[in-house]
Chains A and B, each alone.
Chain A
Amino acid sequence: MKGKPLAAVVSAGLSKFGKMEDFCGRELFAQAASEAFERCPNLNPKKDVKALFIGMMSESFEHQGHSAPMLSDWTGLLPTPAIRTEIACASSAAALRTGIFSILSGIYDIVLVGGFEKMTKRSTAETTEILGMAADYPFEQWNGITFPGLFALMATAHMHKYGTTEQQLGLIAVKNHYNGSLNPKAHIQKEVSLETVMASRMVAKPLKLYDCSLISDGASCAVLTKPELAKQYTDCPVYIIGSGHGSDTLGLYQRESLTSIKATRNAAKEAYNMANLKPTDIDMAEVHDCFTIAELIAYEDLGFCPPGEGGKFIEKGTPTLEGDLPVNTSGGLKSKGHPVGATGIAQLYEIYLQLTRQAEKRQVEGCNIGLAQNLGGSGASCLVHIFRRG
């Protein structure tokens, strides 16, 4: 199995991310699916797609549960069966992994995997509350914690243990906003200065507004096939060669470490092993920067730099577009946006564009191996996938 493709991505689609006032979640998903189908003229969706696996975090945003069959309908695929997967913000990477399992099992030859969330109709307080449901209820939510608060607790601990600074976190926001300014589908396509980041209002000390990702609407999808069928659908497939998944306690306070996410380390270990690759083999990565501190910790947990050196890693510019290991070339959750259920496969979408040389202004030259890390909650779930240009 080592290094062998698990499945192939033959097409992918992404709706515009942002405050998409005119569209419901299902309509955004239909836009993403329509792009994926148009990109792949050899695919006959009604005939070829055998199942859908859909990530979505919360029914509360649109007061709409049971969304998987609804998306089979809105993509014109009925009666194709559909299942929803949920592990908070990692829901669509979970859909991807489930899709891979379905291909590997031999049950299906071609499936559509994807995710969506429609968040911006709710007020910030309501959204804070809904997202907060992914934290432990009796001890964390009941006592007033929020998601920025949970990542702020990790930031304080990281600063105390390693001397990481607010400026270093700010540099991650500056980098991701620059990348997002080159992405026509990003929620905010605007560069920001370090001064703006540092002067932005406090959300949960030490995290400020510009340390936080965006509340967005959006949808993502990808068409997966058996590796041996890939060339029937595209000349340039992207192979999934590693898939790893880690789980940990729901409560942050119950974890072994406050400065490292064990679920990421375990998922990365599994994915690297499967792909028979090391961190130094990765050419570009999309990581889960729900907050700047989450990206900094991801550098360390994915083995891009040693524990405690995430601050130096960004200061040296290694993860910038011109650096040795560009991270979040799409703009990340920070600037591209974070419609939570869409995020995991939106990361795949960016890697698909990069590896097939369609990333235009933000194209990383000569990249052949990409890695995606999608986190759920404060780190009770993490999925890592590794992709290779076909």
Chain B
Amino acid sequence: MEGTIHESETLPFTIEQFFKFIKEKKLMTARCIHCGTLHLPPRPVCSNCYSKELSWTQLETKGKLVTYTVIHIAPEQFQKNAPYAYGILELENRLRIPGMIKNIEHEKLKVGIELEVDFDIEPSLNWPQWPRYFFRPP
């Protein structure tokens, strides 16, 4: 799916815009037109070549779990979820994204399993009210 460049190149390459796309159930990254580096999270200037010429690219939501944990002692706002699984997913182009893993028995977690990014677009009541993405078995 890589290469689906968003129509409007005027959208800012910001974290806020990343979450606006999450609300549309799209996992989007910024690609540097000059050197090709993909930036997840997006950033307004390429950290590799300093170019400001970027484009939005939609990512395939399937990935491979590169590491995981199950969190038992949680911060206050996540205590109702504990224990919950959390991991880092490797997407296409070796891009990595961290997040909560849901709908899986914790015994079945293993490095290398395939997971998919899904979206919880209900805005959070907590600051900064972003929607959330999470991972689940395909």
**A144-B72 in contact (CB<8A):** no
User: Which chain A residues border B68 with CB–CB below 8 Å?
Assistant: 153, 156
Q: Given the complex of chains A and B, what is the CA–CA distance between A56 and B112 in angstroms?
A: 39
Binds B, one of A44-52, A178-186, A250-258, A315-323: A250-258
Chain B proximity mask over A101-145: 1 for CB below 8 Å, otherwise 0:
000000000000000000000001110110010000011111111
Flag whether A148 is at the interface (Cβ < 8 A).
Answer: yes
Tell me the count of chain A residues lying within 8 A, CB to CB, of chain B.
Answer: 36
List residues of B whose CB falls within 8 A of some A CB. 15, 18-19, 41, 66-76, 78-79, 81, 83-84, 86-88, 96-100, 106, 111, 130, 132, 134
Flag whether A2 is at the interface (Cβ < 8 A).
Answer: no
Flag whether A31 is at the interface (Cβ < 8 A).
Answer: no
**A144-B81 in contact (CB<8A):** yes
Consensus secondary structure, chain A interface: helix
**A157-B76 in contact (CB<8A):** no
Q: How far is the CB of A165 from chain B (nearest CB, A)?
A: 15
User: Which chain A residues border B76 with CB–CB below 8 Å?
Assistant: 125-126, 129
Flag whether A4 is at the interface (Cβ < 8 A).
Answer: no
7 inter-chain pairs at a CB distance below 8 angstroms, sorted by A residue, are A138-B15, A139-B98, A143-B99, A143-B134, A145-B71, A153-B87, A201-B72
Flag whether A236 is at the interface (Cβ < 8 A).
Answer: no
Q: Given the complex of chains A and B, what is the CA–CA distance between A154 and B81 in angstroms?
A: 22
**B41-A132 in contact (CB<8A):** no
List residues of A whose CB falls within 8 A of some B CB. 124-126, 128-129, 132, 138-146, 148-149, 152-157, 160, 201-207, 251-254, 258
User: Which chain A residues border B97 with CB–CB below 8 Å?
Assistant: 139, 253
- Known A143-B98, A202-B70; further 4 A-B contacts with Cβ < 8 A: A125-B76, A144-B84, A156-B68, A204-B73
In the complex, which of the residues A128, A138, A143 contacts B41, with contact meaning CB atoms closer than 8 Å? A138
In the complex, which of the residues B72, B98, B134 contacts A253, with contact meaning CB atoms closer than 8 Å? B98
